[in-house]
């Protein structure tokens, strides 16, 4: 008999037992024992325990970081990938943004202010 057919028969039997009033209902003590037994079974899988511990640690650290940020807001920091060239941005007194990159011979102007400056030239 395939699993689906077996499950369907068991489901019908359980529903009939509940209607009749003879179905087993777990006591709090039986439920505790079953939960303990299941927890012991899961704990034997060391790889699984390592993974859920790592996930819990990451979530805990993230919550701690979010809580600290909410209490003391810090400026946004952007992590630049080591594969990307480092770009430094300077804002001069006339509000034009100039970027100096490793490939540039001279400062370049970018953004809406740069467009306005190019129109004025």
pLDDT for position 88: 52
- Give the count of domains, the chain: 3
Q: Could you tell me if 92 and 115 lie in one domain?
A: yes
Using one digit for the tens of pLDDT, what is the confidence trace for 9-38?
A: 999 999 999 999 999 888 999 999 999 999
Partners of residue 108 on adjacent β-strands: 99
How many angstroms separate the CA atoms of 56 and 102, rounded? 42
pTM reported for the whole predicted model:
0.34
Is residue 83 assigned to a domain?
no
Distance of CA 32 to CAs 27, 36, 38, 43, 45, Å? 9, 6, 10, 16, 21
Is residue 81 assigned to a domain?
no
How many other C-beta atoms are found inside a 10 Å radius of the C-beta of residue 48? 11
Using one digit for the tens of pLDDT, what is the confidence trace for 67-100?
A: 877 776 666 565 655 555 555 555 444 444 444 4
Which range of residues forms the domain containing residue 68?
44-74
Is residue 38 assigned to a domain?
no
Q: Could you tell me if 93 and 70 lie in one domain?
A: no
How many angstroms separate the CA atoms of 86 and 68, rounded? 29
Is residue 80 assigned to a domain?
no
Q: Which residue has the higher pLDDT, 31 or 109?
A: 31
Given a contact cutoff of 8 angstroms between Cβ atoms, the answer to whether 101 and 87 are in contact is yes
């Amino acid at each position: 008999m395939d699993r689906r057919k077996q499950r369907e028969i068991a489901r019908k039997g359980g529903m009939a037992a509940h209607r009749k009033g003879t179905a087993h209902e777990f006591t709090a003590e039986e439920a505790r024992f079953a939960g303990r037994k299941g927890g012991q079974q899961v704990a034997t899988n060391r790889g699984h325990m390592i993974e859920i511990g790592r996930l819990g640690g990451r979530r805990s650290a993230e919550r701690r970081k979010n809580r600290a940020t909410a209490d003391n807001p810090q400026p946004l920091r952007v992590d630049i990938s080591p594969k990307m060239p480092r770009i430094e941005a300077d804002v001069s007194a006339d509000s034009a943004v100039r970027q100096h990159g490793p490939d540039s011979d001279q400062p370049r102007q970018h953004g809406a202010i740069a467009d306005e400056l190019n129109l004025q030239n």
